[in-house]
Structure 1
Amino acid sequence: MADIDPWFTRLLPAELAIVVPTFNEVRNVEQLAEAVARALPGVRWEMVFVDDNSSDGTSDKVRRMALADSRIRILHRHNRRGLATACIEGILATAAPYVAVMDSDHQHDERILGEMLARIKQDGVDLVVGSRYTEGGGLGEWSRKRVLASQLATRIASGLTRVPMSDPMSGFFLVRRDAFMRSLPNLSSVGYKILLDIAASAPTPLHIAEVPYTFRTRQHGESKLDTLVLWEYLQLVLDKAFGRYIPARFMSFALVGGFGIVVHFLVLTLLYKLVGASFDQSQAVASVVAISNNFFLNNALTYRDQRLRGRSLLYGWISFNLVCATGAAANIGIADWLFGRNTYWILSAIPGVLISVVWNYAMSSLFTWRRK
């Protein structure tokens, strides 16, 4: 890595920290650090790479870079995953008064970092967003399907930020430390859109400026976005909209449970009406299938950050069945008790269902997806 600044400037405290979450980005990190150095001549900066235990040697690569350049730092996380939490921990790991967040895959244009820093030093600016949608910005080589999906997500997010922002879904921004600290207590840390989380969590609306840039094509490695990021985005939106009343994870758990009811009745109808099995047999099989469906969906969606794998997946399935069996017993008992007191049958069933959902959520959080 070429040294751009005189050696003595690297001994001064960093004015700007650039937080870069990484996972299997060994071919990108050195090129990114060199590009940032060229983009910030005369600026006292440091880069904090937050690596989620990459299997390709990313953290070892960054350590070698750090030995050659004191501006490079590594925060190596073990048994923890998630873009939002990586950004938060990276921001908290530096003392710099200004912190930028950007990806490691060269899709964000590091050449606008200097302009972003200049803008945030203006009076009253808390946050500067690298925007793809403001005049002068662009989405590069995105497909029409991805453009439409991004535009829809942007419209949904705009209602949560409380301030005009053309690109609330951007992953490229620069924030004042004091502004971030005001948002910190209310952050959801869900999903991958940390900018939206910061803006929506601020106790008072942030003062925001935007700098245009054109989204670039990834140079090396594979995209970390998968089909489940839409669900994480939905969880974040639900949490920002209703989280003060109902936890977003509980809402996700309840949605999965609602789908499980549909699965239950489909299997019951198939076996009882079409196959000709007895009602008791059909009901038993439908219950097992629905509970298993709920377990695997919750493992993939609701508890994605605590996803069970290998042997833990089997133990989790067993504990989830035991939890749900207890919840079902409570459901039936409460419903029967109310019905026996001449309560209308629908009104008898609803309290049992609600108590069963709350029980299943609370107990599975304790015994199935318990945090280590």
Structure 2
Amino acid sequence: MSMIETKKAPRRKLSAPDVSLVIPTYNEKANIAPLVEAVRSALGDIPWEIIIVDDDSPDQTFAEVSRLAREEPRLRCLRRVGRRGLSSAVIEGALVANGSAIAVMDADFQHDERILKQMYEKLTSTGADIVVATRYAEGGGIGEWDATRAKMSDFATRMAGMLVGNQTSDPMSGFFMVRREIFASVIYDLSQQGYKILLDIISSSHTPLKIEEVPYVFRARQEGESKISVMVLAQFLFLIIEKLTHGLIPPRFALFSIVGGFGLLVHLAILNGLKLAGFTFIAAQLTATFIAMVSNFVMNNEFTYRDRRLTGLSFLAGLILFCVVCSFGALANVGVAEIAIHQFGNWSLAGLAGAIMGAVFNFSAATSLVWRRPRKRVVSVAA
């Protein structure tokens, strides 16, 4: 009987990485192959690894990474199912990184990967804690941004300066390199809110950080669509709120309260409109209350609880439950206001106390009942 010998392709011997490049993705399939080639060329002989953290992209970016990883073992994919967000993706990717330096960049080629080697050399030669790729130092630039986006970026940079001062010219940069031990020292203080993880890291450090910079010019996206949205700006503002209040005001509660304020305007507009239409006060009040509740529910479902968004029959059930919750919240509002008016005799103070109580009750009940976290399925394993 003849023996058939199968020859195995020789495996490339890999050394431990010095640089772990964490890249969060969502629908970036077309960019992965050219990005790997670009990083390979940019880092040269510096040992590296790429960790793609993909939020279960509909275009199956994760499948493309798996395909490429068969030929490039320094490429890995962390596929996240049921959760979204750039900051949390970066954190999860950094936690599985093996390099002494952790770099963060986007997959869309807007960040110039050609300066990665320069960033690493500056990190190691200067003893810096973080090296920021900056658009705002001499030699850097914002590329082809229009005036509106440039103004928004300038506003956000000024806001970020409230938290970190002048430690870096570009605290809003999404392109940076940080020492592994620095990241580990702030991991429990990171809010994981929004898209600006660098700002989160710097503002979470209990000691001043040594920050160096490397300028670069922001480039146009190569493939895919931009992720910039109103929600991105909102999440940035919530990060600012959380950090300035040291976590006293949760970002989700801030958004819930803003939606409630908008609902009040809707209520008053409907109420006065129905008054002009000849409705009685009771009929107008009930109609305005219902429409405001529906408006609040839709906006909270779209923005405040976007990561737990209800659809289909769950949406209808959630709407009914939300209206019930708000009805009890109104009772809590009136009850506290009545106690306060007897205690202080001041209508404004009593009204404020009632409104705060109602908002806290509605937020707590909505979070735990309407948009509660889905229970994890328990899978039994047969012996």
Q: Which residue pairs with 1:78 in the alignment?
A: 81
Q: Which residue pairs with 1:314 in the alignment?
A: 316
Q: Which residue pairs with 2:354 in the alignment?
A: 352
One-letter amino acid of the structure 2 residue matched with residue 103 of structure 1: D
Rounded Cα–Cα distance in structure 2 between residues aligned with 1:310 and 1:206:
48
Change (3 A) 1:256 1:243: farther
Change (3 A) 1:164 1:281: same
Rounded Cα–Cα distance in structure 2 between residues aligned with 1:348 and 1:169:
41
1:263 equivalenced with 2:266 (yes/no): yes
Q: Which residue pairs with 1:3 in the alignment?
A: none
Residues 340 and 353 in structure 2, CA contact (< 8 A), matched pair in contact too: no
Structure 1 residue 142: Cα displacement: 1.0
Rounded Cα–Cα distance in structure 2 between residues aligned with 1:204 and 1:351:
38
Q: Which residue pairs with 2:179 in the alignment?
A: 176
Q: Which residue pairs with 2:377 in the alignment?
A: none
Structure 2 matches for 1:152-167, cutoff 5 A? 152-167=155-170
RMSD: 1.8
Structure 1 residue 306: Cα displacement: 2.5
Residues 27 and 224 in structure 2, CA contact (< 8 A), matched pair in contact too: yes
One-letter amino acid of the structure 2 residue matched with residue 285 of structure 1: T
Q: Which residue pairs with 2:379 in the alignment?
A: none
Of 228, 239, 242, 2:242 maps to 239
Residues 82 and 305 in structure 1, CA contact (< 8 A), matched pair in contact too: no
In the TM superposition, what whole-angstrom CA distance separates every residue of 1:38-87 from its partner, at most 9, and x where no partner exists?
01111110000011111112111100111111100000011111111111
Change (3 A) 1:291 1:137: same
Q: Which residue pairs with 1:343 in the alignment?
A: 345
Rounded Cα–Cα distance in structure 2 between residues aligned with 1:165 and 1:29:
30
Of 68, 73, 80, 2:71 maps to 68
Structure 1 runs, 4 residues or longer, greater than 6 Å off = none
TM-score if structure 2 supplies the norm length? 0.91
Residues 132 and 212 in structure 1, CA contact (< 8 A), matched pair in contact too: yes
1:38 equivalenced with 2:41 (yes/no): yes
Residues 17 and 98 in structure 1, CA contact (< 8 A), matched pair in contact too: yes
Q: Which residue pairs with 2:367 in the alignment?
A: 365
Q: Secondary structure at the match of 2:292?
A: helix
Q: Secondary structure at the match of 1:31?
A: helix
Q: Which residue pairs with 1:90 in the alignment?
A: 93
Residues 259 and 300 in structure 2, CA contact (< 8 A), matched pair in contact too: yes
TM-score if structure 1 supplies the norm length? 0.93
Residues 130 and 210 in structure 2, CA contact (< 8 A), matched pair in contact too: yes
1:144 equivalenced with 2:166 (yes/no): no
Of 276, 297, 307, 1:305 maps to 307
Q: Which residue pairs with 2:335 in the alignment?
A: 333
Q: Secondary structure at the match of 2:230?
A: coil
Rounded Cα–Cα distance in structure 2 between residues aligned with 1:340 and 1:241:
35
Residues 103 and 177 in structure 2, CA contact (< 8 A), matched pair in contact too: yes
Rounded Cα–Cα distance in structure 2 between residues aligned with 1:334 and 1:227:
35
Change (3 A) 1:259 1:124: same
Residues 162 and 205 in structure 1, CA contact (< 8 A), matched pair in contact too: no
In the TM superposition, what whole-angstrom CA distance separates every residue of 1:174-201 from its partner, at most 9, and x where no partner exists?
0111111122111111111111111111
Rounded Cα–Cα distance in structure 2 between residues aligned with 1:68 and 1:86:
25
